[in-house]
């Protein structure tokens, strides 16, 4: 488990973090939405430990919703430890 300051979490969410400490392995991806903000997640490696973490955050949808990532969160920010999993997905296609 690692703990981040708000500033570190913001830098990771904008992919502007110190490469000696954090390596982005999945760029910020929008995973949900609310009326005024979008939900995002980013996966990064904590280089010193070699462990991977997911950081979830929100951003305002427009310039009128000035919701910055982690604006209302308390320090420390604690990301979830994750590991990569391969999944097989079945889907239906139209018969030609």
Q: For the residues of 15-79, what is the DSSP string, one character each? A: T---TTTEEEEEEEEEEEE-SSEEEEEEEEEETTTTEEEEEEEEEESSTTS---TTTTPPSSB-P
13 in helix, strand or coil? helix
pLDDT, position 74: 85
- Distance, CA of 78 to CA of 63 (rounded, Å): 27
pLDDT, average across residues 77-87: 95
Residue 4 has pLDDT above 90, yes or no: yes
Q: What is the tens place of the pLDDT at every residue in 22-76?
A: 999 999 999 998 888 899 999 999 999 999 999 999 888 877 767 778 877 888 9
pLDDT, position 78: 95
């Amino acid at each position: 488990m690692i703990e981040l300051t708000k500033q570190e979490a913001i830098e990771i969410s904008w992919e502007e973090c110190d490469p000696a400490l954090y390596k982005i392995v999945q760029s910020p991806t929008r995973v949900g939405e609310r009326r005024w903000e979008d939900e995002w997640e980013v996966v990064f490696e904590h280089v010193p430990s070699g462990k991977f973490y997911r950081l979830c955050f929100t951003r305002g949808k427009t310039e009128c919703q000035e919701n910055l990532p982690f604006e209302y969160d308390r320090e420390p920010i604690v990301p979830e430890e994750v590991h990569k999993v391969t999944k097989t997905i079945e889907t239906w296609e139209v018969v030609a």
